[in-house]
């Protein structure tokens, strides 16, 4: 009997500073069996006896199981292969008595930590007013979590330290810093859709849990539920720096100096609803990496030897290739300011409706009469929410945060259970070359390139769905591809 499953194999390497390699094997046409069935152990023993890795694919980290839990926490057993190999009758009862249950142990510790209160500290991040770029970043974040939800939902892969954790952290940081390339795709697109349990991220990751990124020292942590994480990170760094602490669920900002350690509150970064609405942690991370809200802008101190008109300056920067403009942005304060106050790499693309940034009405005007929630960092006009004036010190908490709707936990299968039965949102309403469009996430290849269309022939014509933009990290596909469709709301209004 052949069992499909999704087999992850780890081969240890007896070398210092080398953790070994991961391989995976999948038989796509065979049935799937659960870990508790006898067929599973028979397949394990068969693979062990064959000792043939020619059919195994090397991957950077184990792949998630292809299963639908419907919100039910799956059972995960870890058994030494030697015990399976030595078992004569493959008695499930005998083997399961010796099995380790890493997911149950991990969840027990996780849920205990999530009940601890998250308190504010003395470092305050001043959130700037949202920009068109922020609206795109928020959209891309929710779509990124949705596309890679099978990996995010599998908590057995998030155990610290984890190559997967570092890879997803790099992806989130790139979105927050707009450290990416936007390519204009056509029918011969190189994107790999749909994103599923077979997909593997191709962008480069870091092998360490501490690295510099856009002037900040990023520290990947096991957990950030208590303030002890900031103290541990400070002891590891032992120098003056601004730190971004990131775990699988939270983000925190720390400022180190010889005199003190200042830390912000711990903000939710990835929760069960992160594929549907942007989290407070990512909103704050976006403002930290793409504005001067945490550090004073020094652009006024930069002097160029040649003064050029703003129009010429804008044309020069837009003519550069994506990677060149990113490098220029990191070396020039004036270019950095231009980069984050425009929509680089998108030409005549303009965002005109801001459902994620200003959900009260979607309009980015009269922001001088607006206030943001100090818990979820969502902006709203005082007129829209019925406030006569701006609260003193902008201390406003929205009704959703009063009910703790935005501070949910991250449970195994939680993102998939929350979002997989729902249609993706209406998309981002934009103007391209003066025409109203909606930017929508593409979940599969363009219509003419889908394999199933070849079987139907011309009997069932379908409307063409193209990919107009693809998001890449250092040339590697991020899993995010978008198409432009006619803005139905604008058409109806007309």
pLDDT value of residue 168: 93
pLDDT tens column, 265-276: 889 999 999 999
Same domain, 149 and 280: yes
- Rounded to whole angstroms, the Cα distance separating 414 from 154 reads 10
Q: Does any domain span residue 124?
A: yes
Is pLDDT larger for residue 348 or for residue 282?
Answer: 282
Q: Name every residue whose Cβ is closer than 8 Å to that of residue 106 and which is 6 or more positions away in sequence.
A: 155, 156, 159
State whether 173 and 249 are in the same domain: yes
* pTM of the full structure: 0.84
Residue 479: give the domain boundaries.
Answer: 420-493
pLDDT at 493: 46
Q: pLDDT tens for residues 165-200?
A: 999 999 999 999 999 999 887 544 678 888 988 888
Check residue 319 and give its pLDDT. 81
Output 405 or 133, whichever has higher pLDDT: 133
Do 49 and 126 lie in one domain? The reply is no
Q: What is the pLDDT of residue 228?
A: 57
Lowest mean pLDDT among 57-61, 79-83, 228-232, 417-421: 228-232
**Is there a single domain that holds both residue 212 and residue 150?**
yes
Q: How far apart are CA 34 and CA 8, in angstroms?
A: 15
82-96, 149-163, 198-212, 243-257: which range is least confident on average? 82-96
* Structural domains counted in the chain: 3
For residue 258, the model assigns a pLDDT of: 74
- What's the mean pLDDT in 111-121? 42
Token reading at 102: 């890493």
Strands 216-220 and 241-246, bridge-based pairing:
parallel
Alpha helices in 132-250, H assignment, sequence order: 132-147, 149-153, 163-176, 228-237
CA distance 49 to 43: 10
Q: Is residue 22 part of a domain?
A: yes
Give pLDDT tens digits for 4-21.
567 777 777 655 555 678
Q: Is residue 151 part of a domain?
A: yes
Same domain, 370 and 445: no
Domain-located, residue 363:
yes
Burial (CB < 10 A; 0-12, 13-18, 19+), residue 454, is exposed
- Determine the Cα–Cα distance for residues 439 and 487; give it in Å rounded to an integer: 9
Q: Are residues 234 and 204 located together in one domain of the fold? A: yes
Residue that wins the pLDDT comparison between 11 and 209:
209
Residues 92 and 120 in one domain: no
- Say what the pLDDT of residue 177 is: 94
Secondary structure (3-state) at 133: helix
**What confidence tier does 294 reach under pLDDT thresholds 50, 70, 90?**
confident
Q: Specify whether 90 is located in the same domain as 199.
A: no
Q: Are residues 375 and 455 in the same domain?
A: no
In a domain, residue 394? The reply is: yes
Residues 221 and 162: their CA atoms lie apart, in Å, by: 10
179 and 78 both lie in a single domain = no
Q: According to the model, what pLDDT value does residue 188 have?
A: 47
Lookup: tokens for 425: 């949102």
Would 282 be classed as within a structural domain? yes
**pLDDT tens for each residue of 443-481:** 888 766 666 555 555 555 555 678 889 999 988 999 999
The answer to whether residue 316 sits within a structural domain is no
430 with 446: CB under 8 angstroms? no
| Residue 331, in any domain of the structure | no
The more confident residue out of 13 and 332 is 332
Residue 322, both tokens? 């994506």
Q: 92 and 65: one domain? A: yes
Burial of 367 (0-12, 13-18, 19+ CB in 10 A): middle
Query: Residues with Cβ < 8 Å from 487, sequence gap 6 or more?
Result: 429, 436, 437, 438
**Are 272 and 375 part of one and the same domain?**
yes
């Amino acid at each position: 009997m052949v069992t499909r499953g999704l087999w992850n194999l780890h081969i240890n390497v007896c070398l210092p500073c080398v953790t070994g390699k991961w391989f995976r094997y999948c038989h796509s046409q065979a049935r799937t069996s659960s870990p508790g069935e006898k067929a599973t152990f028979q397949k394990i023993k068969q693979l062990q006896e064959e000792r043939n890795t020619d059919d195994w694919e090397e991957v950077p980290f184990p792949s998630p199981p292809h299963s639908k839990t419907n919100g039910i926490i799956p059972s995960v057993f870890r058994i030494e292969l030697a015990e399976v190999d030595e078992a004569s009758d493959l008695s499930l009862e005998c083997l399961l008595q010796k099995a380790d249950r890493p997911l149950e142990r991990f969840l027990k510790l996780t849920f205990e930590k999530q009940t601890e209160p998250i308190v504010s500290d003395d470092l305050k991040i001043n959130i700037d007013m949202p920009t068109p770029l922020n609206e795109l970043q928020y959209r891309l974040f929710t779509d990124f979590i949705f596309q890679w939800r099978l990996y995010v939902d599998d908590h057995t892969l998030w155990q610290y330290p984890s190559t997967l954790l570092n890879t997803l952290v790099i992806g989130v940081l790139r979105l927050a810093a707009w450290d990416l390339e936007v390519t204009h795709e056509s029918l011969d697109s190189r994107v790999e859709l749909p994103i599923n349990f077979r997909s593997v991220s191709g962008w480069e990751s870091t092998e360490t849990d501490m690295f510099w990124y856009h002037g900040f020292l990023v520290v990947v942590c096991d957990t950030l539920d208590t303030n002890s994480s900031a103290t541990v990170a400070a002891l590891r760094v032992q120098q003056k720096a601004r730190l971004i602490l990131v775990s699988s669920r939270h983000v925190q900002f720390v400022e180190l100096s010889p005199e003190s350690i200042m830390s912000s509150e711990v903000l939710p970064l990835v929760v069960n609803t992160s594929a549907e609405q942007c989290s407070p942690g990512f909103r704050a991370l976006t403002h930290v990496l793409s504005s001067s809200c945490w550090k004073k802008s020094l652009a006024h101190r930069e002097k160029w030897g040649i003064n050029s008109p703003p129009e010429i300056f804008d044309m020069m920067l837009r003519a550069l290739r994506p990677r060149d403009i990113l490098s220029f942005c990191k070396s020039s304060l004036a270019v950095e300011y231009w980069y984050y106050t425009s929509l680089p790499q998108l030409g005549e693309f303009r965002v005109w409706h801001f459902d994620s940034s200003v959900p009260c009405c979607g309009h980015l005007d009269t922001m001088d009469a607006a206030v943001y929630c100090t818990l979820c960092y969502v902006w709203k006009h005082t007129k829209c929410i019925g406030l006569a004036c701006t609260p003193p010190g902008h201390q406003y908490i929205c009704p959703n945060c009063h009910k703790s709707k935005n501070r949910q936990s991250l449970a195994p299968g939680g993102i998939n259970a929350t979002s997989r039965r729902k249609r993706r949102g209406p998309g981002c309403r934009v103007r391209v070359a003066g025409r109203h469009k909606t930017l929508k996430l593409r979940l599969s290849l363009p219509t003419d390139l889908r394999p199933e269309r070849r079987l139907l022939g011309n009997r069932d014509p379908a409307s063409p769905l193209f990919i107009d933009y693809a998001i890449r990290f250092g040339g590697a596909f991020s899993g995010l591809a978008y198409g432009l469709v006619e803005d139905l709301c604008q058409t109806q209004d007309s």
